[in-house]
Structure formats: C-alpha cells, structure tokens
Structure 1
Amino acid sequence: MKIKRKIEVAVISDVHLGTFGCHAKELYSYLNSIDPKTLILNGDIIDVWQFNKRYFPKSHMQVIKKIMDMASDGVEVIYITGNHDEMLRRFSGAKIGNFSIVDKYVTELNGKSAWFFHGDIFDVSIQNAKWLAKLGGYGYDFLILINQMVNWGLSKMGKEKYSISKRIKNGVKGAIKYISDFEKVATDLAIEQGYDYVICGHIHQPKMLIKENKIGKTMYLNSGDWVENFTALEYQFKRWKIYNYNYDKLSPFFVDEDLKDMDMQDLIAAITIVDKKKKKSKKKKSE
C-alpha cells in the first residue's frame, strides 16, 4: 500500500458528477493519495442541473463512496453548496457525523481567517436569468463531449490533448473580464470583512494571488475544477498550494481494492448502509 500525503485542508470544487465532462477516475485517484484533516467540497460536486439517470458511471459512484468513507474514518467533510447542486441548499446546516452541508464556511488556519464559498452569488447571469445559465451549462457539456472525441483522435495519433472550451474561455476578452470582475468582487468583500483568505470555485480557473485595495489585502484562491484543469487546493505547513493532477500526480493507484472491484449495486448499498465493523472497532478504541 502506498503512503498517503498528510494535508491539513484539501479543497475541491466543480466536479460535476453525473456529466460527461467529469473526470471521476482522476479525482478518485487523487482522493486516495491524500490523508486530510478537513476536506472541503466547494460546490458543484454533483451536477443536479444536468443530471441524467441514464448516465451515472461506476467511477462517479466510487467518488461519492470514497468521500463518505473519509468522513466515517474521521475526516471532517464540509460540503458547500453551489449553483449546480443548489437543491442541497434546503439542507444547509445539516450535520451527520463528520459530514456537514453549508452555504459558506469560515474557519481559522494558524491564526488567519479563511472564508470559503462557491461564488455563484456573484454571477449575474445565474441570479437574473437562471434558465439562460442552465442552457449554457448544457451547451458546455456538449462541448466537453466533442472535445473528448477530438482528444481520443489526438491520443491515437500520439499528439497532445487539446481543450476547446478552455481555449475559448482564455481567448474571449469578455470571459477574461468576467473572471477579473469575479476576483475583484470576492476580494474586495473579503478585505472589507477582514478575511485573510477567500477561497472560491465556480469559474473553473485555479488561481492563487494576493489582492490589495485601499483598505487592505487578502489572498484569493480558486480550486479550479475536475472537468478541464484537474486541480485542488491544499493547505499544509501554514502554506497554500494548487495541486495539479496532470503535473503533480504519481502513478494512479487504488488504495481501496475492494472498492475498485465493487459493482454499482454494491457501491450504492455501501453508501447507504453503515459498516458495522467500523462501528465496532471505534467502540473498542473508546473503551
């Protein structure tokens, strides 16, 4: 068994489980490689907007099972709701064991205050025209599907993969301005409220930078996504870093061999039924 990396805080967002664009296998491999004290799921983990009961692969279910296992093993799991999983906002404030659902999360990291939220509240298109935003979401998913076919052809020819949607986002001035405006609104508000860190998701752009204005300064962090960038945020030794699966990964591996071999029905059963053996072992330790 390979040794897991110990991390104080790990942050992932914009996984979009239940869509063609989600790279659940890569995320599962990443989750198996870490041992965090706290795992923060910063919105859009399950894509309720584009959910299709005909498409929910085993790998997507494995990610859910892995997260639930981490919570049962003592990892504090904070699920922050986003726009694609806004249905969960009706359960905001709910807590089961080490798993809790919130709309935002504030904590202190080595004497510095950190403010976590998804970020869709700053998106005018979602607030004023939700149907338009949803339509754009379907178009984005279709674009990702086309991109996967293109990359399949490129890999067969031995060429580097290409991200169409990422290229469009980076090349359109309007998109760049939107990202810049998003960062400014988030950081200005964080500075005004005295937060040292403001950690978001939503815009699928991993980033870590210091932002200043006349009042003060804060560190802006964005965890990116597991559709195009395969990134996460990690906090350890009083420092933040952006983890990039494409550059930082070791060879992908399965720590939980039994989970790897489970069929879909077994995975569903494992998620909904508490493992009695774990309960007994915890009881013995307490005694």
Structure 2
Amino acid sequence: MKTKRKVEVVVISDVHLGTYGCHAKQLLTYLNSISPKQLILNGDIIDIWQFKKRYFPKSHLKVIKKIMDMAADGVEIIYVTGNHDEMLRKFSDTSIGNISIVDKAILELDGKSAWVFHGDIFDVSIQNAKWLAKLGGYGYDLLILLNQFINWCLEKMGKEKYSLSKKTKNSVKGALKYINDFEKVATDLAIEKGYDYVICGHIHQPKMITVENKHGKTMYLNSGDWIENFTALEYQFKRWKLYNYNTDKLRAFYADQDIKEMEVKDLIAAITIIEQKKEDN
C-alpha cells in the first residue's frame, strides 16, 4: 500500500458526473492519492440537469462510492450546491454523518477566513433564463463528444490533443469579459465582507490570484473542473496550491483495488449499505 499525501483541505468542483465530458477515472486516481481532513465539493458534482438513465458508467459510480468511503473513514465532506445539482438545494443545511449539504460555507483556516460558494448566483443567464442555460449545457456536452472523436483521430496520427471548448471560450470576447466580470464581482464582495479568501467554481477556469482595491485585499481561488482542466485546490502548511492532474506528479495507489474489481450492481449495493448505516447511527 502506497502512502497517501496528507492535505488539510481539498476543493473540487464541476465534475459533472453523468455526462460524457466527465473524466471520472482521473478524478478517482486523484482522490485515491490524497488523505484530506476536509473535502469541499463546490457544486456541479452530479449533473442532475443532464442526467440520463442510459448513461451513468461504472467509473462515475466509483467516484460516488469513494467519496462516501472517505466520509465513513472520518473525512468531513461539505457539498456546496451548484446550478447543475440545484435540486439538492432542497436539502440545504442537512447533515448525514460526516456529509453536509450547504449553499455556501465559511472556513476558518489558521486565523484567516475563506468564503466558499459555487458562483452561479452571478450568472444572469441562469437566474433569468434557466431553459437557455440548460440548452447551452447540452450544446457543451455535444461539443465534448465531438472533441473526443477529434482527439482520438489526432492520437492515431501521433499529434497533440486539442480542446475545442477551451478554444471557443478563449476566443470569444464575451466569454472573456464574463470571466473577468465574475472574478471582479466575487473579489469585490469578499473584500467588502472581510474574507481573506474567496473560493469558487462554475466557470471552469482554475485560478489563484491576490486581488486588491481601495477597500482591502483578498485571494481569489477557482478550483476549475474535471472536464478539461483536471484541477483541484489544496490547503496545507498555511497556504493554498492549485493542483493540476496533468502536470503535477502522480504516484500509483492501490489502496482501493477492491473498488476496481466491483461490478455496477455491487457498487450500488455498497453505496446503499453505507447510507443505511448512517441512517441507523
């Protein structure tokens, strides 16, 4: 058994389990490599908007089971709701064992305060035209599928992979303006409220930057996503780090070999058993 990295706090967001773009296997490898005290799931973990009965592969179930196993082992799991899993907002401020569901969270870290929320509250398209936002989500999923086929062809030809959605977002002025506006609103509010850190997801743009205005300063952190960027935020030794699966060294871990061997029905049964145990307690 390999030693896992000890981390105080880990933040992941925008996993979108249940969609074709989700890279559950990479996320599972990452979760198997760490031993956090606290795991913050900052929205859009399960994509309830685009949930299809015919598509929820075993690798996606493994991620859910892994998170529940972590909770059973004493890891504090804070599920901050997002727009794609907004149905869970009905259960806000509910706790089951070590798992709690909230709309936002405040963390106290070595004398500093962190304000954690998904970020969709800033998105006018979601607040005022939910059907349009959902339509955009389906289009994004289709783009990811097309991109996977293109990358399969590129790999066969020995060429580098290419991200259509990243290229599209980064080349559209409106998208860049939206990202800049999002970051400004988040940091201005955090400074006004006196938070040392503001931690978001939603826009799939991993970032860590200190922002200052005439009223004060804060550190803006965005955990990115597990569709394209494969990123997470980690807090250890009184500082934050932006973890990138593609560039940061990963060692092989075999602590959860039994999960690899499980069939879908066994995974579902195991999840159900864990839930039952929590209810009994």
Residue type matched to 2:133 in 1?
A
Conserved? CA contact 2:29–2:253, under 8 Å: yes
What is the count of residue pairs matched by the alignment? Answer: 279
Deviation for aligned residue 1:2: 1.4
Q: Distance in 2 between matches of 1:238 and 1:109?
A: 8
- 1:123 is the counterpart of 2:123: yes
Q: Distance in 2 between matches of 1:261 and 1:14?
A: 27
Q: What SS does the aligned partner of 1:273 have? A: helix
Q: Tell me the residue number matched to 1:101.
A: 101
Name which of structure 1's ranges 166-175 and 190-199 shifts more when overlaid on structure 2: 166-175
- 1:199 is the counterpart of 2:178: no
Q: Distance in 2 between matches of 1:226 and 1:181?
A: 23
Q: Distance in 2 between matches of 1:35 and 1:120?
A: 29
Q: Which consecutive aligned stretches of 4+ in structure 1 deviate over 2 angstroms post-superposition? A: 251-255
Q: Tell me the residue number matched to 2:166.
A: 166
Q: Tell me the residue number matched to 1:232.
A: 232
Conserved? CA contact 1:209–1:221, under 8 Å: yes
Q: Distance in 2 between matches of 1:274 and 1:266?
A: 12
CA offsets per residue over residues 120-153 of structure 1, 9 Å max, x none? 0000100011000000000000000000011111
Residues 8, 25 of structure 1: alpha-carbon distance in 2 compared, 3 angstrom cutoff: same
Structure-2-length-normalised TM-score = 0.97
Q: Tell me the residue number matched to 1:142.
A: 142
Q: Tell me the residue number matched to 1:90.
A: 90
CA offsets per residue over residues 243-269 of structure 1, 9 Å max, x none? 000011424544211111000000001
Q: Tell me the residue number matched to 2:208.
A: 208
Q: Tell me the residue number matched to 2:133.
A: 133
**Aligned positions of 1:1-287 closer than 5 A:** 1-274=1-274
Deviation for aligned residue 1:275: 9.3
Conserved? CA contact 2:196–2:219, under 8 Å: yes
Identity level (%): 79
Q: What SS does the aligned partner of 1:190 have? A: helix
CA offsets per residue over residues 61-115 of structure 1, 9 Å max, x none? 0000000000000000000000000000000011011110000000110000000
Q: Which runs of 5+ in 1 are unaligned?
A: 280-287
Conserved? CA contact 2:9–2:39, under 8 Å: yes
RMSD of equivalent CA atoms: 1.5
Conserved? CA contact 1:29–1:254, under 8 Å: no
Q: What SS does the aligned partner of 1:247 have? A: coil
Q: Distance in 2 between matches of 1:159 and 1:3?
A: 35
Residue type matched to 2:200 in 1?
C
Q: Tell me the residue number matched to 1:282.
A: none
Deviation for aligned residue 1:158: 1.6
Q: Which runs of 5+ in 2 are unaligned?
A: none
Q: Distance in 2 between matches of 1:252 and 1:14?
A: 24
Deviation for aligned residue 1:212: 1.1
Conserved? CA contact 2:68–2:274, under 8 Å: no
Residue type matched to 1:184 in 2?
K
Q: What SS does the aligned partner of 2:269 have? A: helix
Q: Distance in 2 between matches of 1:95 and 1:236?
A: 25
Conserved? CA contact 1:37–1:76, under 8 Å: yes
Deviation for aligned residue 1:272: 1.0
Residues 175, 272 of structure 1: alpha-carbon distance in 2 compared, 3 angstrom cutoff: same
CA offsets per residue over residues 35-72 of structure 1, 9 Å max, x none? 00000000000000000000000000000000000000
Q: What SS does the aligned partner of 2:41 have? A: strand
Q: Distance in 1 between matches of 2:223 and 2:256?
A: 25
